[in-house]
Structure 1
């Protein structure tokens, strides 16, 4: 079990070792006993084979997981790092976090004063959940195990379930359990005097007018990214996930450069039109002389993986691409790979998502003179019968969306917003939640980024909601299941800092995504990969569910299981299990997947329901 576990607070004369053993897993998958340190009012535990470490220094208990680096000390030696953390914590408190880089979860406890500090890295690669039980702070990497501890309680949070349907994940700081929270990227939790304070020690910032030339920035980018790949490749026998996109192809090539060997590369394919990109993965593999392996995921593989994914996740998770990511991790592990490089973060740092170009097009509406909009465009768009005329219908839709402010405009494509919560959820369930909360959270995040250019404000939003809350969770979960350690060179602090200096007009040139990135690698990547359209890594679930009886039966059985949980309207379940998938396989396939994974999570983590309201108590 990866991560760090512990508690700090008064425990009287109770057995301290028993308290920690009741919280943290007693052994890892290979049977190793965890390292533990104890004090009168606190304790820490970790499994050393996961890379986590625990120390005791002058009355302080220190633990970290991941790969923290000391910006000033210049060494990665664990003992020396623990010494410096202890010294700086006693001198400057949470200010020490400004001197740490890399991905990490960190706990520093002062049991003598019943105080402690928790933190995770700037990009949210590492995960840490926490809760307050009376006057004790309890924490660990898995929210479900925290909730099982008798000091915490496993009551489910209806708002989080609503947010799950909205985002298909539960965004931080929420978890599916009442009272259990998760640290946001770049966040620190301070526990003192029985009070809890959370604050950001790092937020995305952009230097939109860097004085360096674009050519100099491009050269620096290639050098910086290669250094990040080198650091990741030195952490074990390394391979690269190769999707055939610009990010994974670049990492594959640089992995070969830094190791001096044929880079090991792993690709996943689908026997479904419009989903498979192995053609491009093979092009990249040939370009860089890779030791290339591929695996084609089948509907049978999906059926087998669904309960495994649900059981392995500490809360409901609805991104279907976790399944191919899992099979890619397993393929790499079977080939002896320990560390698998992923290209996650490239889109959010260098403007690679199609929606960025769409938002730029919408932003042009505000640049049209008001008199022209009021005298020509708006009257044309509102012509009677205009919906039957395609150009007028498109203009009307464009004006409707362009007139919405950000970030609201981004959610016009949201599945739950489009269907309407009343159509999906039961009345009793909706009475327990604030249906405006997900969008309100997006607005609050956007407020901190409004001063930046359009593209940087969108990137800053996605660093949190798309990357940290979703994609990193996907790859980490897949890595845990497949037995490899994911590493993300694009999220190395040096690469993140450089990306923040690239002028916004060079990140995306009008609607050309990744302009800076592609220009910097124009002589490095194959032309076919540079020119190909963004496709993503979707699972053809909706299509396959219509074709494969076993997958269809698993989905139907899962949705039927939701009927008695008091959350989803039976009418919606009937729609999904009858005609909706034939109408739009991708669209309603997504909703079916999200609901199926919710039920599968219930089955692997909770007991069977006995009443419609029991989702509120966590008993079913």
Structure 2
């Protein structure tokens, strides 16, 4: 795993300053603590920071083909590199190392851009084709690994993280107002936008070519219509899924360094640990984060049950509200506002794991592939409402909606019942959008000093599938293409790489994911039970209770933490620099905070989004680097 950066100029004879590349590489040092490499040629410069996982001694970057006409810097893991290498060697290619990334240079030489479909892995890379004077940027199917780019005078710059691009002189620092609106909607900024108007994310499954000063971006992969696989019974599908899972986990354990696992005790992570224990001659090291006196948020007992069942070397850490003191460092690690509060425990457990080993496996991707999220079951629950005549349903829904707060989750049995009735009259897209949104259109308009319409990313991906796809399939498509890449995988990548830890995601192995995605929804979701075929596939290898355990997610009691210790953060928002500079309405921020503190509404996630934005905005104004402990910003939050 590595960090990469570079600059390419439209002028083939132009000079890329080595100091630019050194500055960009320094900003990515956390992603690659094992070495740095800078390569410069006329019109182009590449930089790499390396975390040595495959061929630690000989796999340094940049990588090249035999004559040096193709040069590559790379971030990721190619799990089928041994087979590809053997095939290329039979065709006459000669390799200098045992590292997986060298395959990219030779495979591109043999097949061009078509090589991307041959890659089984997670990756982002930049490849320079000297003969054609062309730069190729590419990102894996699901966006496990990040890649940013920006036009600069006379050329293009790119990097694994936004902070490296910001090291270049002259990169614009203006905020993108649509990205800010999207952030308040989803708690993250969906690709291709970033919070900065001058920079973009390369979208998952995309490639970007830069040649003779011209950019050309295309998708080399996108989600196919789901449920189009060969017809299988539940038993047949479960049996094949289990064998695919077993093979995939073994492939993801290949490394020249120790490999462990994140373990929550839920179905996905328990499945990964079970199959790792089966494949490993040594006890698997597992890592869990928990919460004191936090009820359903604390998953330590469930994780420990699984770890004991498989004789793992188990490690635990505890998160409490003192973790808020790390907010400036967390915000700096993400480069742009990112308010999924589960980033806090992910950051903490990554720090714990990184002290023991450099690579872990996680269960991310299972919810998107196997219909595991609450909103799939929620849709099933509301389906009977569609049988009611509109003349009856409409007034019932209006009555229910009138009793709900405009912002915040309804609490208590009565509140949940009213929310259910209010949602029943909505079309599935509106219902889905409400469930995945932090702040609705009216709430955003009240908070933003200059409201603009968001990008409508969720609606676009919901409508992506062809006619005939049902609401569940459309929700799964939007989750796979939007929330998975820009929320879940971004969270794990930044929180782990901040500590030099590589996280692999077997559920998103291309072959396994393609098989799972092609299964009909009926094998994944039945009545109010999701992940049906996955449960059936592993029912006899997991300890009792895992299959029946209700999905909890990786939640954080952020609302309670903010109520318990309001002194620091309320002062921070009361003196909001973002508000003073014309991005937020101070009165609206104050009103929202007062409603939460008074217990009139549960607005913890909305407040957290504002707090994260405020901290990010102050760091951005100061150059993007977190200050040390004890400085005013940290003291205000702690």
| TM-score of Structure 1 vs Structure 2, range by shorter chain | 0.7 to 0.9
Cα deviation, residue 119, structure 1: 0.6
Greater CA deviation, 141-150 or 412-421?
412-421
Q: Could you give the per-residue CA deviations for residues 76-128 of structure 1, whole angstroms, max 9, x where no partner exists?
A: 97858667644554565322211112001121223454321111111100111
Aligned 1:12-411 pairs, distance under 5 A: 12=13, 14=15, 16-25=17-26, 28=29, 34-49=36-51, 53-57=61-65, 58=67, 59-69=69-79, 73-75=83-85, 79=97, 85-86=104-105, 88-90=107-109, 92-111=111-130, 113-205=132-224, 206-235=226-255, 236-271=257-292, 272-300=294-322, 302-334=323-355, 336-366=356-386, 368=387, 373-374=389-390, 377-378=392-393, 381=396, 401-411=423-433
Q: Could you give the per-residue CA deviations for residues 311-351 of structure 1, whole angstroms, max 9, x where no partner exists?
A: 222211111111111221222233x2221221111111111
State the superposition RMSD in angstroms: 3.2
Matched residue count: 591
SS of residue matched to 1:361: helix
SS of residue matched to 2:282: coil
Cα deviation, residue 231, structure 1: 2.4
Cα deviation, residue 194, structure 1: 2.1
Q: In structure 1, what is the equivalent of residue 464 of structure 2?
A: 448
**2:369, 2:414 → 1: CA distance?**
36
**1:55, 1:143 → 2: CA distance?**
23
**1:379, 1:565 → 2: CA distance?**
43
Q: Is this contact kept in 1: 2:184–2:444, CA < 8 A?
A: no
**1:481, 1:54 → 2: CA distance?**
22
Q: Could you give the per-residue CA deviations for residues 119-169 of structure 1, whole angstroms, max 9, x where no partner exists?
A: 111110011101122341211111132133125332222221221111111
TM-score, length of structure 1 as denominator length: 0.87
**1:563, 1:608 → 2: CA distance?**
19
Cα deviation, residue 384, structure 1: 8.9
SS of residue matched to 1:526: coil
SS of residue matched to 1:486: strand
TM-score, length of structure 2 as denominator length: 0.84
Cα deviation, residue 47, structure 1: 1.7
Q: Which runs of 5+ in 2 are unaligned?
A: 54-59, 87-94, 404-411, 625-638
Cα deviation, residue 526, structure 1: 2.6
Q: Is this contact kept in 1: 2:64–2:71, CA < 8 A?
A: yes
Q: Is this contact kept in 2: 1:40–1:112, CA < 8 A?
A: no
**2:366, 2:488 → 1: CA distance?**
12
**1:360, 1:146 → 2: CA distance?**
45
SS of residue matched to 2:289: strand
Q: Could you give the per-residue CA deviations for residues 268-323 of structure 1, whole angstroms, max 9, x where no partner exists?
A: 111223321222112212222222222221222x1322111012222111111111
Change (3 A) 1:285 1:83: closer
**1:201, 1:148 → 2: CA distance?**
30
Q: Which runs of 5+ in 1 are unaligned?
A: 610-620
SS of residue matched to 1:122: coil
Change (3 A) 1:113 1:566: same
Q: Is this contact kept in 2: 1:41–1:112, CA < 8 A?
A: no
**1:424, 1:535 → 2: CA distance?**
30
